[in-house]
Structure 1
Amino acid sequence: MDLQLKDLKGIGPQMLHILRNNGIWKPYDLLLNIPKSYEDFSITSIEKWHHKETITCLGHITSELKLIRGYKKDRVHFQAKIYNHTIDIIVFGRNYLIKEFKKNDCVLIKGTYDLYKNSIVASTISRQDKQIEIKPHYRIEGIHDLKLTHIMKDLFESQTLPIYENLPKELLDERKLMSRREAFYQLHLPQTFEAIDEAKRRLKYEEAFFMHLNMKKDEKIETRAPKPYDIHQVRALIEKIPYTLTLDQKEAVNDIFRDFKKPFTFERLIQGDVGSGKTMVALLAAYAIVTAKEQVAVMAPTELLARQHYQYFKTYLKDVNIALLTRKTKDKDMMKHMIFSHQYDIVIGTHALIEEDVLFKQLGLVVIDEQHKFGVSTREKLIEKGKHKDVLYLTATPIPRTLAMLTYGYAKISLMKEKPKRREAILTKYITKQTIDDMYSMMHSALIRKEHIFLVVPAITSDKVTDNIETVYQEIIQEFPHAPIFMLHGKLSSDDQDRMMENFITTPGSILLSTTMIEVGIDIPTATLIGIYAAENFGLAQLHQLRGRVGRGNLASFCYLISTKEDVERLDMLVQSDDGFKLAEFDLIERGPGDFIGHLQSGYLDFKYLDILEDEEIFLTAKEDLEKIMNQPDFNSNPKYRYLYKTYTKQT
């Protein structure tokens, strides 16, 4: 019969009710309910007593306890002999101590020492038969921490609850990890703070290890023949590109082409900073698949971006049959027939690509741009249209490696940080409404040169944000009465949005006033200035994305961050740096992973022990160790891996 909570010494009906209200239903739940924090009660030697510092000591009460009434708080006062010195002890707001302690009692005292008053203002007074140097705090309302400590002590000493090891001994030895039982023991009944750290390291490693095992179970790898692309045709195309690829672009292309040569499908994330040239990398990969006589599907989140990709691909791949499939495409039935009969080599589109009657003859590569803009089911519907297809994800959202791995599963990752040398750096300035004339002056100059200008606001109309489409439009038409001004926002129909954008692009010397709809995918070489209103409302990563809408050509470009609040320190990060990865990391620390990833979808982000920022080394080490074990030829038969193999093959 399984051990029940009610069987444990010290747990009565009332405590049982409290535990269950806190999600603790069985003894094993008690084990997993590790303390939230620990308090150091190790004795402070007298030579380390310093004025106004916290100390811990043992003392004998040498006087009667007195209750002194105060205007705001009552206090209990008594004297105690500590290290042969008589010290005044003061405790505020705990009148019950008068009845709990008496003269000659031995007590543990923790508090702030006052050298000049020869006193200790105590935060803790307790009677303990045996000194507990480290006190766990569980923070379960209605149950004293010491009570839980005694219950855990009985649980471990009785050995009635088996704690099975779930990691191979070779890993424990190699990584110098505690056993599972010892880790839980040190967390509940700690002997040193170093032991607590080692216990946490063990459980973090275990959590990372089995998370990777579950990710392996979800990995979608199929065997296929290596892609027979024509490297000579690809090299000929590269030679025609009117600029030299960056080292990061070359490395990303090499990563993909090495994947093509392998006998199984792959998923790869091309994670590139703003303006790092991801689209060219995707284009070269697509062309390689075309030379292998297979088809390519490229899905973008908006019709504007899909059309932009279509024009870009047509510019470099003049002899390749490329289709643009969107909601507006005329004669869709004919186009779908031509796609199925392989009359189109590359099909670029939006959600229209996932329609059931869009069928490919031989889909060999799927490219999903800004993939976090799509739901998981949307991506899967497109990917499933190919039998032995490879998948490329493109994202301009720089996120730390650990978070990228969790978000994109076991996709391989290629990082692109380097910007093309032909582009000038964007000059970023932080201004207020009082100094906005600086931006207006630069706008006048840009309009004279027939360049394009973006002005971004956080809302269409809002009581909470003074800078919105309506208010800023009134300001701009007064300052620039003769300039063409276009407005783009979510309340416009899709057709009106496209028309507005098209008019802006084809009108030299014009202004686009927009919400954050322009955050990604807008590539206008003559756009040289962007002003971002109420910049304090945006994260650094998003501001960096918006800044990337200018500086796409070889013209000097400017970004103005307009803020009505004191946000100098944070916005100065953007002024000083154009490294999207550094800015994203700062954002992650400041805003937290939950806020940072927002719409990113992953089932691997709910950790009990791991911290995705602080524990990257543990995370990657566990991945490396798991792969080493799973690559061993006897993984499925060696008894020491039986538990891992059963977990790996178990259907969920």
Structure 2
Amino acid sequence: MMTLEQYSVRQIKGVSAPKEQELHAFGVHTVADLLDYFPFRYEDYRVRALSDVKDGDKATVQGVVRGMPVLQRYGKNKSRLTCKIEIDFLLVTAVWFNRHFLRDQLTPGRTIILTGKWEQHRQQMTVSESEFPEGAGSAKSGTLQPVYSVGGAITQPWMRKTIKQALQQYGAMIEEVLPFELMERHRLIPRRDAVLHIHEPGDIREGLEARRRMVYEELFLFQLKLQAYRMLSRKRGDGIAHLIEAETIRQFAATLPFELTDGQKKVVNELLVDMRQPASMNRLLQGDVGSGKTVVAAIALYGAVKSGHQGALMVPTEILAEQHMRSLTKLFEGMDVEVGLLTGSMTERRRRDVFAGLQMGLIDIVVGTHALIQETVFFRSLGLVVVDEQHRFGVNQRSVLRRKGMNPDVLTMTATPIPRTLAITAFGDMDVSTIRERPHGRKPIKTYWVKHSMMDRVLGFIRREVGEGRQAYMICPLIEESEKLDVQNAIDQYMQVQQAFPDLKIGLLHGRLSAAEKEQVMSSFGANELHVLVATTVVEVGVDVPNATLMIVMDAERFGLSQLHQLRGRVGRGAHQSYCVLVADPKSETGRERMKVMTETDDGFEVARRDLEIRGPGDFFGTKQSGLPEFRVADMAADFEVLEMARDDAAELCARDDFWDNPAYARMQAKLNRDQLFQGEQLD
């Protein structure tokens, strides 16, 4: 028997060949795809009392025609039709634009249903839709109408009509996917009812029940995929079991110029336990800016090298690659560990030397940008891949580096603390390690929000810090002037700071400089040869200048919360008190809320939680780059409890011995097979 996945959308009555092609653009190829193309909201056409409608709201009301219609024509083929309508004992002016044909139907005494915007102060309703309920009845009034994402030749009415037709033709074929035990446990309605009611809810309660069922199904199947993959990976055991002696790691840790925090020690132990297993490690290390993740990664890389393998550290920018190269070389001094660098701007000769060193095993650890994933890069024995600031790389880039070895261990790092919701969703197939505390001796960064009118005081603050031998960053959102955005730009700001401080050395850093120019500016700033560095967000990730104690962010409302927190983390890396000054005149409530959050807390995890609340999950990383799934109905922030429930159910099911061969789970098995879970592909 054929399933809905095997019926082309073309087989639905009313879908022509051109319309079929239009639907393909929305990812709709089969009848199953169309039935799972859910509305993102509903238009409420239920008739309301006028007294319940607020000024400016759109609503549906019922009334009686009491006056003669008046038609005014203007412009080419444009018209304005007005008529007095009695609604709830109130005489209201109804206005239609370009609906001249209604004039003959608006006869006094006739009942009419109007949908439109209510303007209370003018006692007027601008009508978008109207119906006469007598006779054959009305198509919309009294209902909740679904609203779909449409475009091109696909209109809202056409999509509604086509999905209704699909439900009539194929609704009886909708099969249950979830096992009976889970439906009973969570009191979920059958899938067939849920699909019908989510497209055509009889009332709000029916729609909410349908949505709850489909949210659970979507999150459960996604989590099942992750948990099943995790289980299979562990059973396969085809990774590298590193032979790492505890004493070797203790001796290396003893050479560090500082003592590890308790959080760092805990994470190191978690990594070493994973690396000693034959199953390939897949771990996410999240920690606030400046929490010491790089040292933890260095210890893991050292362990991989001492067990006879190589390590690779991939970072998003050349500045960061060169910084990591320097810090690792310093950490491994006298340890017989060879560290190499591979970036796009290197000369061909230097690049060939690195290629040869990796292939022959002369280079133990390589630090690089996306240059590491070139086809010409081969390793003798890649044992550990560390990806820093993972959300800066696409999913494909990360998986290509992983395939450079025979199932190497993978450590993914991020300084964007991830709320539990997103960690479970985006990284459900990973184990998660977290460093919460600051390294010893680090002081909290004091954050202030000031208006542009207080810029003189900000400049005085710079003078004070520089006078005490410190340095300052000044960050701007754009490189050069834009007519669209009234924001300070880096080039203008650089010139203004030079005028304000003719006796100081000011640097300029932005994305349009060449790699060599960027490196020159950062080296000068790092060596305390520049007092103030005016820059775009190039400095956001990982640049480490302990003597910099002041971060000024111009037009701070233009930045997201996590980005502001990342920028703030560029200071506070030494023993001196550091400050972050946000210069902003936010016009929106969101902008003011961001400034409030930044001044209230410097805990990255709290900032991340509030950021998720303000922005929603889709923008948290940038969906396309992070591999974050785009759910049809689920919302990770609003449906967090369902997400946790689905994750626990999926983990429990995968742990059962009978899950893999019990006929009761056959449909879920088929779903996982369709998603190519068992094709040996890595999830990233």
Partner of 1:559: 580
Is 1:540 aligned with 2:564? no
For the 8 Å contact 1:87–1:120, the answer to whether it is kept is: no
Identity %: 31
Partner of 1:274: 289
Coordinate RMSD, CA, aligned: 4.6
| Structure 1 counterpart SS, 2:572 | coil
For the 8 Å contact 2:115–2:130, the answer to whether it is kept is: yes
Q: Displacement of 1:197 after TM fit?
A: 0.7
| Aligned equivalents of 2:582, 2:397: Cα separation in 1 | 35
> Please, which of 263, 268, 271 is the counterpart of residue 253 of structure 1?
268
**Higher alpha-carbon deviation: 417-426 or 218-227:** 218-227
> Please, which of 639, 643, 648 is the counterpart of residue 667 of structure 2?
643
> Please, which of 208, 211, 214 is the counterpart of residue 197 of structure 1?
208
Quick one: which amino acid aligns to residue 528 of structure 2? T
| Aligned equivalents of 1:574, 1:118: Cα separation in 2 | 45
Q: Displacement of 1:164 after TM fit?
A: 1.3
Partner of 2:443: 424
| Aligned equivalents of 1:335, 1:315: Cα separation in 2 | 19
Quick one: which amino acid aligns to residue 500 of structure 2? E
| Aligned equivalents of 1:211, 1:50: Cα separation in 2 | 41
Query: What are the ranges of 5 or more consecutive residues in structure 1 without an aligned counterpart?
Result: none
Partner of 1:531: 552
Quick one: which amino acid aligns to residue 135 of structure 1? L
Partner of 2:640: 616
Query: What are the ranges of 5 or more consecutive residues in structure 2 without an aligned counterpart?
Result: 74-78, 680-684
Partner of 2:250: 235
Partner of 2:412: 393
For the 8 Å contact 2:328–2:339, the answer to whether it is kept is: no
**Higher alpha-carbon deviation: 396-405 or 274-283:** 396-405
Quick one: which amino acid aligns to residue 551 of structure 2? I
For the 8 Å contact 2:146–2:199, the answer to whether it is kept is: no
Partner of 2:185: 174
| Structure 2 counterpart SS, 1:634 | helix
For the 8 Å contact 1:5–1:26, the answer to whether it is kept is: yes
Partner of 1:549: 570
Partner of 2:145: 136
Quick one: which amino acid aligns to residue 167 of structure 1? L
Q: Displacement of 1:538 after TM fit?
A: 2.2
Quick one: which amino acid aligns to residue 396 of structure 1? A
Partner of 2:301: 286
> Please, which of 622, 626, 631 is the counterpart of residue 598 of structure 1?
622
For the 8 Å contact 1:253–1:281, the answer to whether it is kept is: yes
Q: Displacement of 1:588 after TM fit?
A: 4.5
| Aligned equivalents of 1:50, 1:557: Cα separation in 2 | 52
| Structure 1 counterpart SS, 2:196 | helix
- For each residue in 1:54-96, what CA deviation from the matched residue of structure 2 results, as whole angstroms up to 9, or x when unmatched? 998989x7x977436799965444669x9xxx77676443787
Output aligned runs, 1:451-600, within 5 Å.
451-464=470-483, 467-507=488-528, 510-563=531-584, 566=587, 568-591=592-615, 593-598=617-622
- For each residue in 1:411-438, what CA deviation from the matched residue of structure 2 results, as whole angstroms up to 9, or x when unmatched? 3322334323521121222234432222
Partner of 1:164: 175
Q: Displacement of 1:599 after TM fit?
A: 7.5
Q: Displacement of 1:19 after TM fit?
A: 9.5
Is 1:321 aligned with 2:332? no
| Structure 2 counterpart SS, 1:394 | strand
Q: Displacement of 1:125 after TM fit?
A: 5.6
| Aligned equivalents of 1:206, 1:300: Cα separation in 2 | 36
Q: Displacement of 1:326 after TM fit?
A: 3.0
- For each residue in 1:528-577, what CA deviation from the matched residue of structure 2 results, as whole angstroms up to 9, or x when unmatched? 11222333332222222112111101101122223366454432322222
Structure 1 residues 630, 555: CA separation in 2 closer, same or farther (over 3 Å shift)?
same
Is 1:127 aligned with 2:133? yes
For the 8 Å contact 1:226–1:263, the answer to whether it is kept is: yes
Structure 1 residues 476, 570: CA separation in 2 closer, same or farther (over 3 Å shift)?
same
Aligned length: 642
- For each residue in 1:470-507, what CA deviation from the matched residue of structure 2 results, as whole angstroms up to 9, or x when unmatched? 32232222222222223323333322322222222223
Quick one: which amino acid aligns to residue 127 of structure 1? P
**Higher alpha-carbon deviation: 585-594 or 620-629:** 585-594
Quick one: which amino acid aligns to residue 278 of structure 2? P
| Aligned equivalents of 1:378, 1:6: Cα separation in 2 | 36
Q: Displacement of 1:152 after TM fit?
A: 7.7
Structure 1 residues 417, 194: CA separation in 2 closer, same or farther (over 3 Å shift)?
farther
Q: Displacement of 1:526 after TM fit?
A: 1.0
- Determine which structure has more spread, i.e. the larger CA radius of gyration: 1
Is 1:410 aligned with 2:432? no
| Aligned equivalents of 2:476, 2:182: Cα separation in 1 | 53
| Aligned equivalents of 1:346, 1:543: Cα separation in 2 | 32
For the 8 Å contact 1:35–1:136, the answer to whether it is kept is: no
Structure 1 residues 42, 337: CA separation in 2 closer, same or farther (over 3 Å shift)?
closer
For the 8 Å contact 2:340–2:363, the answer to whether it is kept is: no
For the 8 Å contact 2:338–2:362, the answer to whether it is kept is: no
Partner of 2:76: none
Is 1:312 aligned with 2:327? yes
For the 8 Å contact 1:3–1:160, the answer to whether it is kept is: no
| Structure 2 counterpart SS, 1:368 | strand
| Aligned equivalents of 2:364, 2:118: Cα separation in 1 | 79
For the 8 Å contact 2:490–2:535, the answer to whether it is kept is: yes
| Aligned equivalents of 1:396, 1:426: Cα separation in 2 | 16
Task: Give the TM-score of the pair, scaled to structure 1.
Answer: 0.81
Q: Displacement of 1:265 after TM fit?
A: 0.4
Q: Displacement of 1:345 after TM fit?
A: 3.8
Quick one: which amino acid aligns to residue 562 of structure 2? A
- For each residue in 1:504-535, what CA deviation from the matched residue of structure 2 results, as whole angstroms up to 9, or x when unmatched? 22235622222222111211111111222333
| Aligned equivalents of 1:554, 1:186: Cα separation in 2 | 61
**Higher alpha-carbon deviation: 220-229 or 147-156:** 147-156
